[in-house]
Amino acid sequence: MPYDFIKYDQPEEYIGIVTLNRPKRLNALHKLVLDELTDVVAAIEADDQIRVWLLTGAPREDGRPCFSAGADLKAATEGLSPSGSVGYELANDIDDMLKPSIAVVDGVCSTGGVELALACDFRLVGEATQISDWHLKNLGTGLGGWGASTRWSRLVGTTKTKEIVLTGKVIDADDAYRIGFATAKHSSSDLLGEAMAMARTIAGMRPEGVRLTLSHLDRNQDMTRDQSLRWAQLAMKWFGMSGDFEERAKRAIEERKGN
Query: For 28-73, how does the pLDDT look when each residue is reduced to its tens digit (9 = 90+)?
Result: 999 999 999 999 999 999 999 999 999 999 999 999 999 999 988 7
* 14 contacts 203 by C-beta, under 8 angstroms: yes
Angle CA 75–109–85, to nearest 5: 50
Confidence of residue 252 (pLDDT cuts 50, 70, 90): low
* 52 contacts 108 by C-beta, under 8 angstroms: no
- Between the two ends of the chain, the Cα-to-Cα distance in Å is 38
* 192 contacts 200 by C-beta, under 8 angstroms: no
pLDDT: which is higher, 258 or 194 = 194
DSSP 222: G
How much is the pLDDT for 186?
A: 98
Give CA–CA dist 69/10, Å, rounded: 25
User: Can you tell me whether residue 167 is helix, strand or coil?
Assistant: helix
User: Can you tell me whether residue 66 is helix, strand or coil?
Assistant: strand
Over residues 216-236, the pLDDT tens digits come to 888 888 888 888 778 777 777
List CB contacts of 187: < 8 A, sequence separation 6 or more. Answer: 126, 127
* 91 contacts 71 by C-beta, under 8 angstroms: no
Asked if pLDDT for residue 81 goes beyond 80, the answer is no
Closest CA to 160 of 146, 174, 176, 172: 176
List CB contacts of 166: < 8 A, sequence separation 6 or more. Answer: 136, 142
% of the chain residues with pLDDT over 90: 71
How much is the pLDDT for 123?
A: 98
How much is the pLDDT for 254?
A: 64
Query: Residue 102 is inside which H or E element, if any?
Result: strand 101-105
